[in-house]
Amino acid sequence: MAYLKPTSWYRSTRVNFNQWTLWNTGGQLLELGGNINAHVEFTNQWWGHIGANLNSVGASFDDRVSRGGPAVRQVFNRSGWFGLEGDRRWKVQPVLFARGQMKDASGSWMAGVDPQVAIRVASRLQASLGLSYQRIVNDAQWYGNVRDGAGTTHYTFARLDQNVAAFTSRLDITATRTLSLQMYASPFVATGAYSNLREFDDPAARRYSGRYKPYGSGAPLSSFNFKEFRSNTVVRWEYRPGSTLFFVWSQGRQQNGMNPGSFEAGRDLRDLFRARPDNTLLVKAQYWFAM
């Protein structure tokens, strides 16, 4: 539904409803859900967005989560998101989006935020800076399939408490009609700690508590702390009409294993940029042969 006639507080607004149902080829219900979304352009030319979702309604199953094992009944959950965008005419435009999933019957939940700033100093100079952070708790994350001495496969799951953060920056400069510069850089950090190892008891049980049972000795489980940095710088020079040179510098860094399961943004970024970089230089030439 769209309301395009301006009022005292908005210029236009749109509301939409969606519903989805998914089955596999065997006729098993995999997903049943729906959502509602609304988008409003206010009189000051800011934009607001909001949405709410219902997921895994009824007896829906995930037939892939056990990596070749039986399908497991999914947990009904509710999630939502909202966003706010500043006036797109501004030279510096703020943008904020946030999302979350309410704690469900398993104790799983999620929350995330994505602030961003778009910078348009001139038609020849544009940039953007964006941050993304998520806290994810999944009570039934696949951990591994273990075959015992009797040939029985145990499909194991654990509770995963995870932090994921990323920073993304972009810069576009057009110096002249024939010379331009583009830059991209993004560090990424993901940490997680596993606990409460279990295996299938009755994966189709109506109650979540009946789907899993304890597995193993109760010893501490593995954790991880993975960090990565990727950047690209491209200079484009059209040295004659239709003929172009590209000078490319790419840098990558990766660090894995330090402080597993622990998340501290400042410390993790320092560890990442202490890692040895991999640098790649590339020159590409295009030549236009006039006919």
Q: How much is the mean pLDDT over the chain? A: 95
Q: What is the mean pLDDT of residues 14-29?
A: 96
Measured at the CA of 54, the angle between CA 48 and CA 60, to 5 degrees, comes to: 150
191: tokens are 């940490």
CA nearest neighbour of 80 among 118, 45, 34, 116: 34
**Coil, helix or strand for 20?**
strand
Q: Is residue 230 part of a domain?
A: yes
Domain hosting residue 118, numbered range: 68-286
Q: Is residue 227 part of a domain?
A: yes
Tell me: pLDDT of 277 over 80: yes
Q: Is residue 53 part of a domain?
A: no
Q: Is residue 82 part of a domain?
A: yes
Q: Is residue 277 part of a domain?
A: yes
Q: Which of 147-151, 152-156, 195-199 has the lowest mean pLDDT?
A: 147-151
Q: What is the mean pLDDT of residues 176-182?
A: 95
CB neighbours of residue 150 within 10 Å: 5
Q: Please count the structural domains in the chain.
A: 1
Q: Is residue 188 part of a domain?
A: yes
89: tokens are 């005419």
The pLDDT value given to residue 219: 81
pLDDT level of residue 226 (50, 70, 90 thresholds): very high
160: tokens are 């995963």
Percent of the chain surpassing pLDDT 70:
100
Percent of the chain surpassing pLDDT 90:
90
The pLDDT value given to residue 59: 93
The pLDDT value given to residue 13: 95
The pLDDT value given to residue 1: 80
Q: Chain centroid to CA 220: how far?
A: 28
The pLDDT value given to residue 217: 80
The pLDDT value given to residue 263: 95
pLDDT level of residue 237 (50, 70, 90 thresholds): very high
Q: By the 8 A CB rule, do 184 and 167 touch?
A: no
pLDDT level of residue 291 (50, 70, 90 thresholds): low
Tell me: pLDDT of 48 over 80: yes
The pTM of this model reads 0.89
- CA distances to 39, 46, 54, 168, 274 from 36, in Å: 11, 21, 9, 29, 46
